[in-house]
Chains A and B, each alone.
Chain A
Amino acid sequence: MSDPNEAARDDVPVDGAENGGADTAADGGADDASTATATGAFAFSPEREEKFQELVRRYPTAKSAIMPTLWLCQDEWGWLKPGVPEWVAERLDVPLSAVYEIIHFYTMYYVENPGKVNIQVCRTASCHLMGAQTIVEHLKKRLGIEPGQTDAEGFFRLEEVECLGACGMAPMLQVGKHYYENLTPEKVDELLDQWRRDG
């Protein structure tokens, strides 16, 4: 199983060289080198390492453990920094393609830094009926960014997301593990101030 994927990984810089000329080849080479060193440089905190060992022990297959391992990485570093997917593949001894398949299919794994405060406003059905658009418009105006963008400092990011299961408390938004429900523009202003203060 691992052979074809090993081959695929070796192919990456070669493809880059063929398609992109000298610059890309140099980049590819540099990426490769930084990945190799970066992979060695990653380490979980002791508590997360313990959690990782536990899930490796408890999950019936290594592939099953990819999702929880990616979550641990995201808890550790905030997002999946370059080199982390490779590191996860190595630690679980699964093909890198299997890790990327997960990262790209699911919406909650970030391969780009989502900023310090990632504001996710629910846009679906009940929230739509109860004024989600007003909340989004207010946030756009306050932050000066469109949904899908991060502000210049990399502090706030704004996203419109699908139903978060808080329909009776609409409109609502999520930041990290927290839900903020029954929103009004005034409440949103208070939250923005609070997040700013907490830095």
Chain B
Amino acid sequence: MADFPKILSENWDVENSHTLEVYESHGGYVALKKVLTGDKITPEALREEVKTSGLRGRGGAGFPTGVKWGFVPQNIDKPKYLLVNADESEPGTFKDRFIMDYDPHMMIEGSILSSYAINANDCFIYIRGEYGWLVDRLEEAIEEAYAKGYLGKNILGSGFDCEMIVHKGAGAYICGEETGLINSLEGLKGQPRIKPPFPAVVGFLDCPTIVNNVETVASVPWIVNNGANAYAAIGTEKSTGTKLFSVSGPVKRPGVYEIPLGLPMKELLMGNDYCQGMKDGVELKACIPGGSSVPILNAEETLACNVDYESFAEHGTMLGSGGCIVVGNDANMPELLKNLIQFYHHESCGQCTPCREGTGWLDMILERMLNGEGRPKDLELLDRIGNNMMGTTICVLADAAVMPCQSFIKKFRDEFEALLPDMEEPEDYIPTTSSAELPR
């Protein structure tokens, strides 16, 4: 792989990298000055620049950021809001916490620039409640930025105002879904809203709202400083720039790695610059490449992929949030699936019946299978319930539970079949999800 600039993680090793002083000494807030006072770039021009860079949303969906910003109606007399999604809760994902911990000002500068691009004067950072120490870190950094005149009224004398508030969540995965996040910020249960209307038009308090991931906004200062073309030159044609990948599981060196998109998975997992291969005595069995919600890959598929949106799609999975969970040959796949489904069952917001009931049924069926009480047709039952959940709900949490469920069973079917009894169903058998009703 050719050399590439570290856009997000360059300063993580620098002592006190979280302070304003260190950030500024490494070129921090130069982009903000360039946009607001130096080159006086208009919001429209900034939106175009980011569109040209090809930057795609790093939270999971991979939607082009500049295009999303363009959906904000600029001709209406309503406040506009930027909500930065720091609710990082997708199992396997722990990248945004590194940005907030080691370079919070990069996210803050990116947030101010992103607010400017959509003409928003209010920005909320919605951070998951469990990241308590990061709330303190962000609030300190924001205070420094206010004191230096990078936030508040009339920033750097430009006439642009931007207020920033850190809003702490309280333990709900669903608030990472952008409309769930908006409802949560409004002081409601974090239940997602039906789209359309999209938040860019009708969002927070019914005003135009953009929700961007931490990593997305943190990439903006570099794009401003170095130009859209320099960003687009990294990575592949459709997956530009760098991406943080958080790798967990039995590899020698788990952690967060900044990689140019298009890097072979083999290099990420086995390369000396990255994870350095599997732990001694463990062999690669499978990999969930983009956070727990995406379909699983077997070892062969894993090593054949490149890390970009298109290559993952070709192999039937997704890049998602870049939360890569490596699975070793010592893992029991039905147990791992049950663990994941229990997560989705717990986190379902309860709003849509297929998800509220479906995640529970998947959970119960897997539980009875693991307890040795499975029915001969349980795999078909899991499949049928999954098909009735996919695409039938307001948000994609149901799909996020079904995708691992169906892909685990498809790729590791023998392990699931081994849990089922070797008998024929009686002809009058009615499939049921209740283990209490099982004949002994």
Binding site for B on A (CB under 8 A): 55, 58-68, 70-71, 94, 98, 101-102, 105-109, 123-126, 128-130, 161-170, 174, 176-179
Contacts and interface: CB of A to CB of B under 8 A. Distances in A.
Which of B94, B173, B328, B340 counts the most chain A CB atoms within 10 A? B94
Given A71-B168, A108-B129, A61 B186 contact: yes
A124 B170 contact: no
Given A61-B187, A129-B327, 12 more contacts: A60-B122, A61-B186, A65-B187, A67-B170, A108-B170, A109-B170, A128-B336, A128-B339, A129-B325, A130-B250, A161-B171, A169-B254
B130 A108 contact: yes
A104 to B, nearest CB: 9
19 contacts: A63-B186, A64-B186, A67-B184, A68-B168, A71-B168, A71-B170, A101-B189, A102-B187, A102-B188, A105-B190, A106-B172, A108-B171, A123-B339, A125-B91, A125-B248, A126-B325, A163-B90, A170-B248, A179-B133
A183 to B, nearest CB: 14
Nearest to A92: B187
B329 to A, nearest CB: 12
Interface string B180-201: 0000111111100000000000
Contacts of A109: 170
B89 A165 contact: yes
B92 A167 contact: yes
B343 interface: yes
B68 interface: no
A98 to B, nearest CB: 7
B323 interface: yes
B33 interface: no
Contact of A125 (B184, B247, B256, B343): B343
Nearest to A182: B254
Nearest to A179: B133
A106 B170 contact: yes
Nearest to B189: A105
A67 B91 contact: no
Contacts, number: 142
A124 B93 contact: no
A126 B132 contact: no
Given A102-B189, A163-B91, A166-B94, A107 B170 contact: yes
B343 A165 contact: no
B33 to A, nearest CB: 26
Contacts of A178: 133
Given A71-B168, A71-B170, A162 B325 contact: no
Contacts of A58: 163, 165
Contact of A130 (B128, B249, B323): B249
B246 A66 contact: no
Nearest to A59: B165
Given A101-B189, A125-B336, A168 B343 contact: no
A126 B336 CA distance: 9
Interface in B114-162: 122, 128-133, 136
B93 A107 contact: no
B89 A129 contact: no
4 cross-chain pairs, A with B, having the tightest CB-CB distances, nearest first: A63-B187, A177-B132, A167-B248, A106-B170
B403 to A, nearest CB: 14
B167 interface: yes
B130 A164 contact: yes
A105 B331 CA distance: 33
Given A98-B187, A105-B172, A129-B327, A165 B94 contact: yes
Contacts of B331: 129
A178 B331 CA distance: 29
B343 A162 contact: yes
Contacts of A59: 165
A125 B255 contact: no
Given A60-B205, A105-B172, A106-B170, A126 B130 contact: no
Contacts of B187: 61-67, 94, 98, 102
Given A125-B292, A177-B132, A106 B169 contact: yes
A129 B184 contact: no
B383 interface: no
